[in-house]
Structure 1
Amino acid sequence: MIKSFFFVLRLAIAWMLAIFLVAILWSNLPLIGWIDWPIVLAGMITMALVVAGALSHLGRVRLIAGRIDKATLANRQRRQIEIPFEAGEAFDLLDAAIRELPRIEHVESARDSLQVRARVGRPRTYGEHSMGRWNPLLWWFGIPRNQILATVTPGHDTGSVTLICEPEAPAWSDWFQVDDATNYENAEAISRAITRRVGERRRGEKADAAQTATEKELTVARLSLLHAQVEPHFLYNTLASAQLLTRSDPARADEMLGHLIQYLRRSLPSVDEEMSTLGAELERALAYLEILRIRMGPRLQVQVDVPEPLRATVLPPMMLQTLVENAIKHGLEPRTGGGTVWIRARAADGDVAITVADDGNGFNSKTSGTGIGLKNVRERLRLAFGGDASLAVVANFPAGVAATLSVPARYQREVSHA
């Protein structure tokens, strides 16, 4: 109540002094200076309009802000808003929020200097002004617009916004006029718009993270199923071959069962680790290939060139196995003469390139499969390494297919010899 009283009193005193100055000038005019009633009448009407305008301003401030204090009564509003994005993103968000203001008339946006200037039309909050164009207050100040100055100060992954909303009039005019809380309204509207946009961005990020986590869980689930369900035909055929060999060649049967045990041991899922190493995956693939060499005989040749230091490279489990199985099933098995499978690894430019190649049928539509295995390999690479890993499948020369995994060399793990 006291703040409201002093606010009205301040405006009244300022206008009384202005009217007193005008009365002095009027009294010094020749011919008409001796007539007092025009200046007295104009002064009384002006004071009535000033007090009425001040009371209207107080009522609107209380209605919009819910309180009356120095900050809400001021014609000029300042806000300091922290946006949790880097300065460029914060500027784009601020610029969009300002452009969405009602009655926005002109926006000057300078992205390099991180500044936005704008002019906003001031609404006639309660319709036409009292007395229309005969209102003496309009003779002095007219109907000024509001203006906005916003600056983004870069921080550490944040942008600090300094927002100023004020009348398009000099600061001294605040002694004589009120803005009907329009600048307070503009400042609050921009603050709300920024908060809403930050919230939408955060919800979008959370939704993307949740979707990525769901995709990763589905991939891990498929991988666990792949671990738990070793291909039945391969297992049955291997056991059947071992059973036959026990009668004709017990030594080879024992060798086959040893490789099968090694393969199964490496195929069991690990509950502690989601990632494997190139060394562990190579052992699994070689156990698989050794079993097939016993079954296929001289039709299958294997050449391995993987340097020992690269065997600690982190690799999603079953990924190398998928490429080796593709080379056998779609490249060499359908071919009467069989062929060779090459497995090699090389380090270059911060990446490790792991290639599985064969000299089989190549891109033959009858034996090329559905491509689901390679699609899963690419998806698992994306989930494990983002955009830092890739899979390339090309024709091998003079025959066959070469599939190359490129993974970051910076991911290394101690090699286990268990």
Structure 2
Amino acid sequence: MDVLVMKSVFFVARLVVFWFFVLLFVVLLLANSPPLRYRDTASMFVLIIFLILMMVVTSAVTHLRRVRLIAGHLDDSTMGNRQRRQIEIPLEAGEAFDLLDAAIRELPRSEDVESARDSLQIRAKVQRPKAYGTNPFERLDPSLWFGHVRNQIFATVTPREGSGSVTLICEPEAGAWTDWFRVDDGTNLENAEAITRAVTRRIAEKRRQEQRRAAQTESEKERTVARLNLLHAQVEPHFLYNTLASAQYLTRTDPLQADHMLGHLIHYLRHSLPQRDDALSLLGDELERTRAYLEIMRLRMGPRLSLQIDVPDTLRAIAMPPMMLQTLVENAIKHGLEPKPGGGTVWILARRDGDTVAITVADDGRGFNDAAGGTGIGLKNVRERLRLIYGSEASLSVVSNAPEGVAATITIPLRNDSTDNAS
């Protein structure tokens, strides 16, 4: 506390001493002038000097009190008219500059703002407010004799690795020598603190927005996974129910066929259950799963169903959504071959075209007459799953397979790991 009092007394005394010597010099000049060479002028000069010095003391004390109200304490950094701040902004230099520029422009009474984005510099003038309104003794206040000057701001952003370091200077629009004669009533301290608060607030708001976006993205991801799980669940169960029902019937009529069917079902499940619903599978695994499915269907349809597969070994390692290939095969059998008296053939083909792979399931069944042009739940689910996983990068096309039947083609982008394995 003693140190604080000493610093305050020294601050006031410094202003008084400099004003005293200036006023003494002026009085000596005037005292030697012919019109004022009278004894009675001495007391008048003493009175004027006393009043002016009292105004200096009053102005200095007011400045110290206001600075303490603003900063909450007094020290060398807060008492001065010129304020310097070093602010670290955890943003890229360009973003830091834009944030700082907006904070300065929104400062009350800011004007003549000059922004140089290439050099990352900002200059601005700020009208200095009258902290305590109009003073009836303003003409006697020596701090106002040089005019009610403005304050000015100079800020630079220094690029760092992934951040920007801001050097902020707030000072009077006057030379440093004026600090020996006048005070700024804490207005530059106010400006420096206000800009620092604005920068901190904007950074916090930016972080909150990023957190909200991250939370929203995570929520959307969870909803997407849930929708994929639902779509997957809509495809898989009814096949399992039908197969188990067929196996139950065969155990009474043809136990050997029932044993074969259950064996293929176990093989099918071995390629199905380990996969997570939101994970991608491999084309080779999907072919194994589909073969097991077709073997089960052969037991049900007999010689009415035949299969041809043309998939290069280099493409068996590409990533694709699980159950999608079987959905197309199941759709071909259900809508194309089962309604056809003589049955038919299912073809499975895969071809690479640049950074995409086209997987086609074709049949020579009843065609669009009974297939409804791909409007069934199976094909709708395939399209929805492609959209959720790949966006606009994947597609499903369903066309007529001349001379009869339907061809459904899935086009998907190659993943990085799939590209390496397939090349």
Q: TM-score, normalised by structure 2?
A: 0.80
Residue 357 (structure 2) aligned to one of 353, 358, 377: 353
Query: Which residue number corresponds to residue 22 of structure 2?
Result: 18
1:44–1:341 distance in 2 versus 1, CA, 3 Å: farther
Query: Which residue number corresponds to residue 10 of structure 2?
Result: 6
Q: Deviation digits for residues 308-333 of structure 1, max 9, x if unmatched?
A: 3x544455xxx24235415643x663
The structure number with the bigger radius of gyration is 2
How does 1:165-244 map onto structure 2 within 5 Å?
165-221=170-226, 231-242=236-247
Residue 391 (structure 1) aligned to one of 386, 394, 411: 394
Higher mean C-alpha displacement, 115-124 vs 286-295: 286-295
Q: Deviation digits for residues 340-363 of structure 1, max 9, x if unmatched?
A: 453425374xx4535345465488
Q: CA deviation at 1:294?
A: 5.1
- 2: distance between equivalents of 1:21 and 1:347? 94
- 1: distance between equivalents of 2:230 and 2:269? 14
What residue identity is the alignment partner of 2:236? Answer: E
The answer to whether structure 1 residue 287 and structure 2 residue 288 are counterparts is: no
The answer to whether structure 1 residue 307 and structure 2 residue 313 are counterparts is: yes
Question: Match of 1:334, SS?
Answer: helix
Query: Which residue number corresponds to residue 383 of structure 2?
Result: 374
For the aligned residue pairs, the C-alpha RMSD in angstroms reads: 3.7
Q: CA deviation at 1:125?
A: 0.9
What residue identity is the alignment partner of 1:375? Answer: E
Q: CA deviation at 1:29?
A: 3.7
Query: Which residue number corresponds to residue 119 of structure 2?
Result: 113
What residue identity is the alignment partner of 2:327? Answer: E
- 2: distance between equivalents of 1:262 and 1:79? 71
Q: Deviation digits for residues 261-288 of structure 1, max 9, x if unmatched?
A: 2222222145899554444344334433
Question: Match of 1:231, SS?
Answer: helix
Q: Deviation digits for residues 139-197 of structure 1, max 9, x if unmatched?
A: 22x11111111211111111111111111111111111111111111111111111112
Does the 8 A contact of 1:293 with 1:301 survive in 2?
A: no
1:242–1:153 distance in 2 versus 1, CA, 3 Å: same
Q: Deviation digits for residues 226-257 of structure 1, max 9, x if unmatched?
A: 77787333123223445666788877655543
- 2: distance between equivalents of 1:267 and 1:152? 57
Q: Deviation digits for residues 377-397 of structure 1, max 9, x if unmatched?
A: 433447xxxxxx832234557
1:104–1:370 distance in 2 versus 1, CA, 3 Å: farther
Higher mean C-alpha displacement, 230-239 vs 14-23: 230-239
What residue identity is the alignment partner of 2:387? Answer: R
Q: CA deviation at 1:293?
A: 5.3
Identity across matched positions, percent: 50
Question: Match of 2:413, SS?
Answer: strand
Does the 8 A contact of 1:363 with 1:395 survive in 2?
A: no
Q: CA deviation at 1:339?
A: 6.3
- 1: distance between equivalents of 2:397 and 2:32? 101
What residue identity is the alignment partner of 1:11? Answer: L
Higher mean C-alpha displacement, 70-79 vs 30-39: 30-39
- 2: distance between equivalents of 1:121 and 1:74? 18
What residue identity is the alignment partner of 1:52? Answer: T
Query: Which residue number corresponds to residue 70 of structure 2?
Result: 64
Does the 8 A contact of 1:114 with 1:151 survive in 2?
A: yes
Query: Which residue number corresponds to residue 333 of structure 1?
Result: 334
1:270–1:356 distance in 2 versus 1, CA, 3 Å: same
Does the 8 A contact of 1:279 with 1:312 survive in 2?
A: yes
Q: CA deviation at 1:51?
A: 0.7
What residue identity is the alignment partner of 1:325? Answer: T
What residue identity is the alignment partner of 2:16? Answer: A
Point out the structure with the larger helix share. 2
1:195–1:295 distance in 2 versus 1, CA, 3 Å: farther
Unaligned runs of 5+ in 2: none
- 1: distance between equivalents of 2:330 and 2:159? 57
Residue 413 (structure 2) aligned to one of 393, 406, 410: 406
1:375–1:272 distance in 2 versus 1, CA, 3 Å: closer
Residue 163 (structure 1) aligned to one of 140, 157, 168: 168
Query: Which residue number corresponds to residue 96 of structure 2?
Result: 90
- 2: distance between equivalents of 1:366 and 1:270? 28
